[in-house]
Amino acid sequence: MSRRAVITGVGVVAPGGIGTKAYWKLLSEGRTATRNITHFDASPYRSRMAGEADFDPVREGLTPQEIRRLDRAAQFAVVAGREAMSDSGIEFDQLDPGRIGVSLGTAVGCTTSLEREFIVGSDRGKYWEVDQSYAVPHLYDYFTPSSMATELAWTVGAEGPVSVVSTGCTSGLDSVGYAAELIMEGSADVVVTGGTEAPLSPITVVCFDVIRASSTRNDDPTTACRPFDKTRDGLVLGEGCAIIVLEELEHARARGAHIYGEVAGFASRCNAYHMTGLHPEGIEMSDAINIALKQARADATDVGYINAHGSGTKQNDLHETAAFKRSLGAHAYKTPVSGFKSMIGHSLGAIGSLEIVGSLLAFEQDLIPPTANLHEQDPECDLDYTPLVAREKKVDTLLTVGSGFGGFQSAMVLKKVEGAGR
Amino acid sequence: MTRAVVTGIGIASPNGLGPTAYWRATLHGEAAIKPITRFDSANYWAKIAGEVPGFEAGRHLQGRLLPQTDHMTRLTLVGTDWALRGAGVQPNDIPDTDIAVITAATAGGYEFGQRELQKLWHQGPEYVSAYQSFAWFYAVNTGQISIRHGTRGPGAVVVSEQAGGIDSIGHARRQLRKGVQLALTGGMDSSLCPWAWVAHQASGCLSRNNNPKRAYLPFDRDASGYVAGEGGAIMVVETPESAAGRPGTRIYGEIVGYASTFDSKMPSREPGLKRAAELALRDAGMDASEIDVVFADAAGIPELDKAEAEAIKGIFGPFGVPVTAPKTMTGRLFAGGGSLDVASAILSIYWSAIPPTINVENLVPEYEIDLVMNEARHGKIKAALVLGRGKGGFNSAMVVREYR
C-alpha cells in the first residue's frame, strides 16, 4: 500500500494581512497589497515598491528573545507555523517526535539581517575588514538559513528529518515536494513544510534593479505587477510565509482530520539554459508538469485550474504560457489560469507555498482567485487568465508551477481527497 | 530497490586536489590547517583555516565564468568536471533529462556578496554587479552545474548546516529511485572572507587556539572547538545499469543506507545522532557488526564529542569499531565536509585503508572509542558508516559498502 501525503493544516503571513482568513479575503476579492516600500528609504533605487506584510512580532505573540534572535523571515515561519499547527488539530506533543519532520523553503535566507550587520561591521562599506567587535551574538544563525528550519523544528517539536530546501524562487514549491517525498518513502508521518522570505532590503532590491527585472511603475504601486498584460514591465518584490502541515493520509484519516487536499504529483527540472533567462518554449516546465501529472495519475484534461508563476515579466509570461499549452494541449485554452503575484508581489522562496495555500483555499471555496491588474491582455498570451474578478468553479485537480533563477522549473499537482471531512 | 553506486569523485580539499592527490595526502596524515592567507587576519582572533592551495580557476574554467562566480562555485564546477571525467561520462552518454543535480549549501557565495555589498554601501547601487542576484544565493551551484553540463533532470539544494553534505547525497539517491539514471551530488563550500569570518567567530564553535596542531582536537581532553576550512567533494552517483552502459567504468562503492534526525531543544531528550545511525543501518539492511569503520562527525567541542562517542559506543560497544576523523587535517568544510567524508569512506573501501585522525594526543579514555590516530590502518574494508551533524540540531548518517 503506497503512502500518500495530504495537507491538514495551513498558516500564513502575507502582504494584506496576517493569517489564512485575511489572505483568502485579499485573494478572493482580487485586491492588491503592493505599495511603495516603507521598510527602508528606497529612494536611491530603480524599483521602489513591494508587497509588504504589516507584521508586528509583539502582537503575534513572539517573546523579546525570539524577536531579538530571529530574522524577520524566521519570525514569519514561527508565527505561520503556530497557525498551521493549530489549524491541523494535531496534538504535536502526543506524536512520536522522531516521526515529525520539517522542510522549509527560502531563497535568500536571512539576507536582511546579514546586510544590516554588514553595514555596521563595515561602517557602511568603508572597511573590507569587517570589525569583529560589532558582531551580534546570533550572526552565525543569519549566515546559514538552516537556522530557520531549526526554529520551526523547535516550534513543532520535530526530531525526524529536518532541512531547508533552497532553490531560489521555486523553494516554496520544492520544499513541499521534498516533504511529500519524506512522507511517501516512510521517513516521517507528519512534515511541517512551506516557505518563508523577508527579502526587502537594499541589496535584494538592487539585485533585481541591475538586471532590470523589476517594475518601475513607482507612481502606481498597487497596480504595478501585471502578469499577462501587455503593459507589464517587471516583477514587484514581496515578503511573506506559508506553512503547511503535511500528513500521511491514513494518519490523517485515523484522527478524522480535515484534509485540504493531496500533494499528488511533484517534479522539478533544471533548464540548463541561463541563470536568469528563460527559453520561450517552456520545455522544461512542461516536462515537470507532465511528470507531476503522471505521478498524480491525472490526465491533462483533469486539470481544472492552473496557478501560474505569473511574475510580471514578459519572458515569464511567454515561457509558462507555452509550457501550459505544450502539456495540456487544447485543454489549456479551457482551463482558468491566475497569478497571485499580481496581488501580493513576488516573495521569492515563500511564494510557491503561498500559492499552494491559496490554491487549496480555492478548492475549499469553489472559487478561483483572479489575476489582478489584467486589463489589456497581451495577444501573445492567449489563455484564460481570470482577469480582475474571482470565478466560481468546482475544481478537483489543480496545477501550480514555479520558475526561478538558476533555471529551476517546478510543478505540483494538488487533488481533492475523497471523504475529506468538514 | 534501485541501487546507487559511486563512479566519479571530484575533490577539492585543503590537502589535495582530485581523489588521487587527496587520498595520498590523507593516508599520510598531511596537515593543511595553516595561517589564513585569503584575507588579513590580523584583526580577528581566529587566524587559521584550511584553505585549498594551488587552485587557479582560470586554468579550468572559461574566462566568462569568472566574473559571475564566487570562489566556492568555481571549486564546485571544477570538482564536478573531475567527477564526470573520472566516471567517463561523455556528453550524450545519458539523456539530459535523466541527470539530476543535488548540492548542499551552508553559506552562499559570500566573498562575492561581501564585495557587492561594499560597492552598494560605499559607492552606490549603480556599481553592483549584474551577477549578484544569483552569484551569492544558496542555489547557485546546482544551477551553474546544470547549465555547464546541459543537465535537464531534477535540481535541488539542501541546507542543514554541516549535515547537509550527507543529506544532498541521500536526496540524490531518492532521485535515482524516482527514475533518473545519474546524479551529480555533494557540496563544496568556501566562506573565507572577513564578513563570513566574523560570522564564523560568532558561532561559538571555532577554537581560540591558533596553533594549527593544537586547535582542532576532536575526542581529545584539550578539545576547544574546530577550525573552518573550504572545499568538499562532488560525486557521480548512478544506478549500476547506468554505469554498465559505459564499459570499463570503475565502481568505487555503493550507497546503501541513509537517514537524518533532529535534536530536540529539551535537555531531557536524547540527542538524535544514534537514532540516525541506527536508521541508516536499518535502511541498509545491515547489522552494526558488518561496519568496518566509522567516519565521525568529530565536532571538537567536548559535549558534542561526548555525545558522539556515546552514540558510537551505544551501537558498537566499547572500542567496538575503528573510528576516524580525517577532517582533523583539513578543518571542517561545512556543506563540503559531509560529502568529503562520504568520498573518503568510499575511497577507504576502494583502497582497503582507514585514514588517520591527526593531532589528537590525549584521547578522553571514558569515551571508549578506538580512534585511528596518526597512522593509517590497512586491511579490507567492506562497509563504512559516516556521521555528520549541523549546528542547530541536524544529524545525518550514511552507510556505504563495497559494490558486489
pLDDT digits (tens, 9 = 90+) for A167-184: 999 999 999 999 999 999
Least confident of A16-25, A111-120, A413-422: A413-422
In this complex, the residue of A101, A150, A168 whose CB is nearest that of residue B137 is A168
Q: A69, A130, A214: which to substitute to probe chain B, counting the most B Cβ within 10 Å? A: A130
Query: Given an 8 Å threshold on Cβ–Cβ distance, is A166 in contact with B105?
Result: yes
Residues of A in contact with B138 (CB under 8 A): 107-109, 145, 166
Q: Do B156 and A165 touch (CB under 8 A)?
A: yes
| Band (A1; pLDDT cuts 50, 70, 90) | low
Write out chain B residues lying below 8 Å of A129, CB-based: 39-40, 43, 194
Candidates A241, A309, A319, A381; catalytic one: A309
What's the rounded mean pLDDT across residues A270-299?
Answer: 94
Whether pLDDT at A384 is above 90: yes
Please determine, for residue A397, whether its predicted confidence score (pLDDT) is greater than 90. yes
pLDDT (tens digit per residue) in B340-390: 999 999 999 999 999 999 999 999 999 999 999 999 999 999 999 999 999
What confidence score (pLDDT) does residue A30 get?
98
Instruction: Please give the average per-residue pLDDT across A38-45, as a whole number.
Output: 97
B256-401 has the same fold as B4-244: yes
The residue among A4, A20, A2, A17 whose CA lies nearest residue A353 is A20
Per residue in B2-44, pLDDT (tens digit) is 999 999 999 999 999 999 999 999 999 999 999 999 999 999 9
All cell numbers assigned to A196: 518563508
Closest CA to B12 of B166, B165, B232: B232
Please give the Cα distance from B198 to A140 (Å, whole number).
Answer: 8
Residue A259: closest CA among A267, A270, A248, A268: A248
B299 has a pLDDT exceeding 60:
yes
Cβ distance B196 to A208 less than 8 Å, yes or no, reads: no
B chain contacts of residue A284, beta-carbon cutoff 8 Å: 152
Q: Please give the pLDDT value at position A418.
A: 82
3-class secondary structure per residue, A140-174:
HHHHCCHHHHHHHHHHHCCCCCEEEECCHHHHHHH
CB contact under 8 A, A159 and B272: yes
Q: How far is B383 from chain A (nearest CA, A)?
A: 23
Eight-state DSSP code of residue A40? S
Q: How does the average pLDDT of chain A come out, rounded?
A: 97
A301-327 pLDDT tens trace: 999 999 999 999 999 999 999 999 999
Cβ atoms < 10 Å from Cβ of B54: 8
Catalytic site residue A110? Answer: no
For A130, the closest of B164, B194, B265 (CB atoms) is B194
pLDDT, residue B197, reads 98
- A:39-78 residues touching chain B, CB 8 A cutoff: 44-46
- Measured between beta carbons, which residues in chain A are less than 8 angstroms from residue B171? 178
Q: Which of residues 81-140 of A touch B (CB under 8 A)?
A: 97-98, 101-102, 107-109, 115, 118-119, 121-122, 124-126, 128-132, 135-140
**Cβ–Cβ below 8 Å for B204 and A140:** yes
CB contact under 8 A, B137 and A119: no
- Cβ-based contacts of A132 with chain B (< 8 Å): 43-45, 198, 201
Interface list for A 373-412 with B (CB within 8 A): 404-408
Identify the CATH class of B4-244.
Answer: alpha beta
Give every CB contact of residue B63 below 8 A, 6+ residues apart in sequence: none
How much is the pLDDT for B104? 98
Q: Can you say how many angstroms the Cα of residue A89 is from the centroid of all Cα atoms in its chain?
A: 23
Q: How many other CB atoms sit within 10 Å of the CB of residue A176? A: 33
Q: pLDDT by residue (tens digit) across B159-171? A: 999 999 999 999 9
Report the residue from B161, B164, B261 with minimal CB separation from A161: B261
What letters, b where the CB count within 10 A reaches 16 and e where it falls short, cover A269-308? Answer: bbbbbebbebbeebbbbbbbbbbbbebbebebebbbbbbb
Is the pLDDT score of B131 beyond 90?
A: yes
* Residue in A with minimal Cα distance to B174: A181
The CATH topology of domain B256-401 is: Peroxisomal Thiolase; Chain A, domain 1 (3.40.47)
Domains of chain A: 5-110+145-415 (3.40.47.10)
| B152/A284 CB distance under 8 A | yes
Contact B129 A210 (CB under 8 A): yes
Annotated active-site residue A346? The verdict is yes
Lowest mean pLDDT across A28-37, A411-420, B71-80, B194-203: A411-420
Q: Give A168→chain B minimum CA distance, Å.
A: 6
Q: Give just the sign of the alpha carbon dihedral B252, B254, B257, B260.
A: positive
Closest chain A residue to B150, measured at CA: A272
Tell me which residue in A167, A203, A211 faces B139 most closely, judged by beta carbons: A167
Given a cut of 60, whether residue A284 has pLDDT beyond it is yes
- Contact at CB, A118 and B195, closer than 8 angstroms: yes
B147 contact residues in A (CB cutoff 8 A): 270, 272-275, 407
CA distance A122 to A125: 5
Of A115, A154, A162, the CB nearest to B117: A115
Confidence at residue A273, expressed as pLDDT on a 0 to 100 scale: 87
Domain spans in chain B, listed from the N-terminal domain onward = 4-244, 256-401
Residues of B in contact with A158 (CB under 8 A): 262
Q: Say yes or no for a CB contact (<8 Å) between A143 and B262.
A: no
Q: Confidence class of residue A421 from pLDDT cuts 50, 70 and 90?
A: low
Interface subset of B 166-205, CB within 8 angstroms of A = 167, 171, 174, 177, 191, 194-204
Q: Range with the lowest mean pLDDT among B90-94, B249-253, B291-295, B319-323?
A: B90-94
Mutation pick from B169, B262, B263, B274 vs chain A, by most beta carbons of A within 10 Å, is B262
Instruction: Give the residue carrying C-alpha cell 552565525.
Output: A140
Q: Comparing C-alpha atoms, which of B88, B76, B94 is closest to residue B142?
A: B76
Contact A235, A213 (CB under 8 A): yes
Would you state the pLDDT for residue B1? Answer: 84
Cβ contact B122–A125 (<8 Å)? yes
Average pLDDT over every residue of B212-219: 98
From the candidates A169, A225, A241, A381, which is the catalytic residue? Answer: A169
Interchain CB distance below 8 Å, A109 and B138: yes
Note the pLDDT of residue A420.
63
Of B120, B160, B203, the CB nearest to A162: B160
* Pairs across A and B, CB distance < 8 A: 262
Q: Is A135:A315 a contact under the CB 8 Å cutoff?
A: no
Q: Do A159 and B144 touch (CB under 8 A)?
A: no
- Counting residues of chain A whose pLDDT is more than 90, the rounded percentage is 97
Phi, psi (rounded to 5 degrees) for B11: -125, 135
